Amino acid sequence: MIKPSIPSGTRDFGTTDMLKRNYIFNTIKQNFELFGYSPIETPAMEKITTLTGKYGDEGDQLIFKILNSRIHESKQKDILLNEFKASLEFSKNSEELTEKALRYDLTVPFARYVVMNQHNLTFPFKRYQIQPVWRADRPQKGRYREFFQCDADVIGSDSLINELELINLMDKCFAELKIPVTLKFNNRKILSAIAQLINEPNKIVEITVAIDKLDKIGVDGVNKELQNSGVNPKAIEQLQPLINFKGNNLEKVSVLAQMLNNIEIGLKGIEEINFILNYFSEKNLKHILLELDITLARGLTYYTGTIFEAKANAGNLTSSILGGGRYDDLTGIFGLKNMSGVGISFGIDRIFDVMNELNVYPNSVNQISTTQLMFAHFGNDELTYCLNLANELRQQNINCEVYPDLAKIKKQFDFANKKQIPYVCVIGSEEMQSQLYTLKNLASGEQEKLSLNQIIQKLK
Amino acid sequence: MIKPSIPSGTRDFGTTDMLKRNYIFNTIKQNFELFGYSPIETPAMEKITTLTGKYGDEGDQLIFKILNSRIHESKQKDILLNEFKASLEFSKNSEELTEKALRYDLTVPFARYVVMNQHNLTFPFKRYQIQPVWRADRPQKGRYREFFQCDADVIGSDSLINELELINLMDKCFAELKIPVTLKFNNRKILSAIAQLINEPNKIVEITVAIDKLDKIGVDGVNKELQNSGVNPKAIEQLQPLINFKGNNLEKVSVLAQMLNNIEIGLKGIEEINFILNYFSEKNLKHILLELDITLARGLTYYTGTIFEAKANAGNLTSSILGGGRYDDLTGIFGLKNMSGVGISFGIDRIFDVMNELNVYPNSVNQISTTQLMFAHFGNDELTYCLNLANELRQQNINCEVYPDLAKIKKQFDFANKKQIPYVCVIGSEEMQSQLYTLKNLASGEQEKLSLNQIIQKLK
């Protein structure tokens, strides 16, 4: 007998965790709906052709591929064998072997959904989507192979009003979740302008990917990576003031404005940044700190305008718990051009870790059971009598259970105590006759004799 | 450019479907909690060794296997190639190629979870679990490759009280969902006794599998399948009265009692059936019809006592929308013996199809958007003013959105009409000055001038 286990990088969630996670999901979900986002869901499996080539070479390696079923029944085993040989050598996809894969994020499936349903959707289309994604990353603390994403996107509108609304949405969410957050933002147009300025317009991807790692690998690491990517030494030197950029939001903008004053796309980027800063200089954010960060790049290549990254300030952790940005051509990869959109993605699993560290859940969530009352009993007749009482309570929306076995009262109480059920009601022949029931509060030890209606009033 | 599509047997769910499905999920979830079941979740991927051998040979073929990642980086490509050759020939699993697979149901992962967490769980352990499962079945109407299961199980109690509670739970759920349902039940001990009676105790699986198909393939089909399974002709003859069994629940029991009066396990089965029938002869079910069906077998081999199957009576459809039963040794496959349990599984996707056919959703669910109010506007100043109004409404839990682009009022109204948003509020300079806003009901055309507080009162 092999001891059972689960794949590395995956997790089971018991009831305690589930109640906390559902609290996070529901808080975000309610806010998505308050801001006019509507739910959709897409399948866990996508055609492999939908996914590959969208996340860069590194990303492609992390896609979980599903082996085609019934290959042993194929009549073309020679072809299959050759395809397998080729995939061993070149890491090339073969649809003969795998034509489906697990989704890697929710953004590409969303783009695919929009293109497939373009004639039935009303644009600007605002959707939210809360589903797991899978990545064959090396598992480590805070990094899982199965994790939830929680995305809101609007597509078909290039108005910066959407950016303002998303910032308001994040502010409200993080305030309710009680997570202290710094929201860093930047604009990809600034990064494009900088690539032009230093005369390396074709190296924009390499430059953004390298600068994006500043927090992790430091200035020297970034410079080394720029060098390895073939960015010329003079350009790297020109980039230094930028990498060491300091000051408050307005100071940063004025330095940028001087630096990029001849570059059209840079001026456009500055205009967009100013639009956001102006709005929030008049209307204060309740909870989050908004910080312009010129080194923020976000790895993904499809962003073209504003980019976001939220970091939680939780004890020793400084964890990235949200990312997002504007893309002018996300659906272009599936043939639908000129659809500008902007979106954010909450990293639920990181948020869960941070909230556990801070312990900021409301009391109603800090439970190990959802049951409010348990019926204990002295024998068979009492047991079926309990079923009827329980059904009366359930009609009134009170969660309750009946200890199902014949057992000593002590054992029944032990059960309720272990599950931290708040109330126990013991049913004997006396209670059945008088129709008055002793309700015991397990935490305080208090007990009182009540009618069923009184119990209902008390627990509702 | 390839036209994007999704794998056959999978579905996207747009907002209209999501609202309906969430209504079904929430109704069942609330009832699970009312009856004392607590939520857990397990990963989509399980180790392949956890899954294979649990669903019969046919089931094993339907498990989606995940190709190990980075096989092109392996140093043992010869071994991989040989393993692949072998899997092509014998349909044998190779952990070198695939060590993970997508879960096929929620029952086996639940058993695995219980065994792994046995020292931290409080028994009897009641859990519910609502997650998708995947099967490489041939897709057809009502049969999908990705579908949701919605399971409640109690493990660690052999009390028949659990069966009564589950029947009460199903009654309450289907009443609230407004689906007319016949709940068929039987007891595997009866089937074992019959196999003994006809002197074919080793053919119990073949007999139950064949009888289980009575609805689909008829008496002749069942007899043919029995014959093909090697059940002897005399035994098949003896089975005939059983297959053609008629009468009400009590008549059926009395016939059974005569037929099986010398077979211990048969008498035990009859005792268990009578316990259920007696309870529900005194306490009427509100909604479902309870029908003893001696031909009900349920394909899965792990059932040992009561078995359930619910069928919806929906127009032309007679669809199986729930299954379940008692198992005395589910966790035995993972090394934990003597844990009796009983559970049910709602087939959410069939329930969704049936409810669409019957159109029994409450009005609040029959929507295409979750937004209650949209702000339309005449220009840039009005647009940012709308953002502030929207945020005030959101503080009061009113779902609203602001049309994000500058556009003619007609275009903005067209958008609200297409999304069936109930109310629109147009903001111009006059409204900004007077702080009185015209609220228009799009369905009735009525409009009234209100303050923000009056709007909040009206929409709350």
pLDDT confidence of residue B91: 67
Phi-psi category of B380—alpha, beta or left, where left has phi over 0 and alpha has psi -120 to 50? alpha
As a whole number of angstroms, the distance between CA B440 and CA B429 comes to 18
Confidence of residue A91 (pLDDT cuts 50, 70, 90): low
- Checking if the pLDDT of B281 tops 70, the result is yes
A440 versus A94: the higher-pLDDT residue is A440
Please state the domain extents for chain B. Answer: 15-64+104-358, 368-459
Binary contact (A4, B116; C-beta < 8 A):
yes
Question: What is the structure's pLDDT at B403?
Answer: 98
Spatial distance between the Cα atoms of B212 and B318, rounded to a whole number of angstroms: 16
pLDDT tens per residue across span A225-250: 999 988 989 989 888 877 777 788 98
Identify the CATH homologous superfamily for domain A368-459.
Anticodon-binding domain (3.40.50.800)
Residue A72: pLDDT over 80: no
Query: Which residues on chain B are in Cβ contact (under 8 Å) with A5?
Result: 47, 116
Are the Cβ atoms of B100 and A134 closer than 8 angstroms?
no
Chain B residues near residue A391 by CB distance under 8 angstroms: 168
Residues of B in contact with A8 (CB under 8 A): none
Q: Give the C-alpha separation, B20 to B348, whole Å.
A: 11
Least confident of A56-65, A137-146, B293-302, B360-369: B293-302
Chain A nearest C-alpha distance from B414 (Å) = 10
Please give the pLDDT value at position B314.
75
- B175-178 long-range contacts (CB < 8 A, ≥24 apart) are B175/B286, B175/B287, B175/B288, B176/B27, B176/B31, B177/B24, B177/B27, B177/B351, B177/B355, B177/B360, B178/B355, B178/B358, B178/B360
Name the pLDDT band for A205 (thresholds 50, 70, 90): confident
Q: A31: which chain B residues are within 8 Å (Cβ-Cβ)?
A: 394
Q: Which two tokens stand for residue B252?
A: 């059926």
Per the CB < 8 Å rule, is B419 touching A122?
yes
Mean pLDDT computed over A352-356: 93
C-alpha dihedral, A82 to A88 to A94 to A96, nearest 10°: 50
User: Judged by CB atoms within 8 Å, which residues 301-330 of A form the interface with B?
Assistant: none
Sheet holding A341-347, edge to edge: A38-39, A125-134, A146-155, A341-347, A317-327, A306-314, A181-187, A289-292
Choose the weakest-confidence range: A106-120, A434-448, B84-98: B84-98
Q: Is residue A357 a contact partner of residue A315, using CB atoms and an 8 Å limit?
A: yes
Buried b (16+ CB within 10 A) or exposed e, B181-220: bebbbbbbbbbbbbbbbbebeebbebbbbbbbebeeeeee
In this prediction, residue A317 carries a pLDDT of 63
Q: Would an 8 Å CB–CB cutoff place B348 in contact with chain A?
A: no
Cα B263 to chain centroid distance, Å, stands at 36
Q: What does the pLDDT read at residue A207?
A: 83
**Integer CA distances (angstroms), B158 to A46, A414, B146, in order:** 43, 19, 33
Arithmetic mean of pLDDT, B16-45 = 97
Sequence-separated (6 or more) residues with CB below 8 Å from residue B253: B270, B273, B274, B277, B292
pLDDT in tens, A272-320: 999 999 999 877 888 999 999 888 877 667 889 999 999 998 766 677 8
Asked if B422 contacts B372 with a C-beta cutoff of 8 angstroms, the reply is yes
What is the reported pLDDT for B317? 63
Q: pLDDT-derived band of residue A134, with 50, 70 and 90 as boundaries?
A: very high
Is the per-residue pLDDT at A110 higher than 70?
Answer: yes
> Which residues in chain A have their CB less than 8 angstroms from residue B113's CB?
12
Contact assignment for A15 to B38 by CB distance below 8 Å: yes
CB atoms closer than 10 angstroms to residue A352: 20
A5:B116 CB<8 A: yes
Cβ of A335 within 8 Å of Cβ of B283? The answer is: no
| Residue B81 pLDDT greater than 90, yes or no | no
Does residue B89 belong to the interface with chain A, where contact is any CB pair within 8 Å?
yes
> How would you class A368 by CB atoms within 10 Å of its CB: exposed for 0-12, middle for 13-18, buried for 19 or more?
middle
* Residue B75 scores a pLDDT above 90: no
Residue in chain A lying closest to B341 (CA): A404
Do B49 and A415 count as a contact with CB atoms less than 8 A apart?
Answer: no
Residue of A nearest to B161 (CA): A404
Q: Which of A257, A9, A267, A301 is nearest to A133 (CA)?
A: A9
Instruction: Verify whether the Cβ–Cβ distance B38 to A46 is below 8 Å.
Output: no
Q: What is the torsion angle, in degrees rounded to the nearest 10, for the CA atoms of residue B239, residue B241, residue B244 and residue B249?
A: -110
The answer to whether residue A346 scores a pLDDT higher than 90 is yes
If contacts are CB pairs under 8 Å, which of residues 138-177 in chain A contact chain B?
145-146, 154, 157-159, 161-162, 164-165, 168, 172
pLDDT digits (tens, 9 = 90+) for B371-394: 999 999 999 999 999 999 999 999
> Which of A271, A399, A400, A414 is the best residue to mutate to test the B interface, defined by the most B CB atoms within 10 Å of its own CB?
A399
CB contact B417 to A (< 8 Å):
no
Answer yes or no: is pLDDT of A359 > 80: yes
Q: What is the pLDDT of residues A440-456, one digit of tens each?
A: 999 999 999 999 999 99
Q: Which of A29-38, A55-64, A237-246, B247-256 has the highest mean pLDDT?
A: A29-38
| Confidence at residue B297, expressed as pLDDT on a 0 to 100 scale | 79
Residue B338 distance to chain A (closest CA, Å): 15
Nearest CA in chain A to B36: A401
* pLDDT at residue A76, as a whole number: 80
| pLDDT for A315 | 66
Q: What is the mean pLDDT of residues A418-431?
A: 96
What is the CA angle A62-A355-A444, rounded to 5? 140
Chain CA centroid to CA B147, Å: 8
Q: Give the model's pLDDT for residue A404.
A: 97
The hierarchical CATH code for the domain A15-64+104-358 is 3.30.930.10
Residue A95's pLDDT band (cuts 50, 70, 90): confident
Q: Give a three-class secondary structure readout of chain A.
A: CCCCCCCCCCCCECHHHHHHHHHHHHHHHHHHHHCCCEECECCCEEEHHHHCCCCHHHHHHCCCEECCCCHHHCCCHHHHHHHHHHHHHHCCCCCCCCCEEECCCCHHHHHHHHHHCCCCCCCCEEEEEEEEEECCCCCECCECCEEEEEEEEEECCCCCHHHHHHHHHHHHHHHHHCCCEEEEEEEHHHHHHHHHHCCCHHHHHHHHHHHHCHHHHHHHHHHHHHHHCCCCHHHHHHHHHHHCCCCCHHHHHHHHHHHCCCCHHHHHHHHHHHHHHHHHHHCCCCCCEEEECCCCCCCCCCCCCEEEEEEEEECCEEEEEEEEEEECCHHHHHCCCCCCEEEEEEEHHHHHHHHHHHCCCCCCCCCCCCCCEEEEECCHHHHHHHHHHHHHHHHCCCCEEECCCCCCHHHHHHHHHHCCCCEEEEECHHHHHHCCEEEEECCCCCEEEECHHHHHHHHC
Residues of A numbered 26-85 whose beta carbons fall under 8 angstroms of chain B's beta carbons: which are they?
Answer: 30-31, 33-36, 38-47, 49-50, 61-62, 64-67, 69-72, 74, 77, 80-81, 84-85
Residue B145 has pLDDT above 80, yes or no: yes
User: What was the pLDDT predicted at A316?
Assistant: 66
Judged by CB atoms closer than 8 Å, whether chains meet at A67 and B70 is answered as: no
Residues A225 and A297 sit within 8 Å (Cβ to Cβ): no
Q: Give percent of chain A above pLDDT 70.
A: 98
What per-residue confidence (pLDDT) applies to B168?
A: 97
* Residues in chain B within 8 Å Cβ distance of A30: 397
* pLDDT for residue A333: 87
Contact present, B151 and B108 (Cβ < 8 Å): no
Q: What does the pLDDT average to over A380-386?
A: 96
Residue of B nearest to A163 (CA): B404
Instruction: Say if B98 is an interface residue toward chain A (CB within 8 Å).
Output: yes
Average pLDDT taken over every residue of chain A:
92
- CB-based contact, B404 to chain A, within 8 Å: yes
Question: What pLDDT score does A255 carry?
Answer: 86
ipTM of this predicted structure? 0.92
Report how far residue A126's alpha carbon sits from residue A158's, in angstroms, rounded to the nearest whole number.
Answer: 13
pLDDT per residue over A111-126, tens digit each?
Answer: 999 999 999 999 999 9
pLDDT at B315: 66
Question: Over 70: is that where the pLDDT of B316 sits?
Answer: no
Tens digits of per-residue pLDDT, B396-413? 999 999 999 999 999 999
Q: In this complex, how many residue pairs, one in chain A and one in chain B, have their CB atoms less than 8 Å apart?
A: 294
Distance from CA of B354 to the nearest CA of A (A): 20
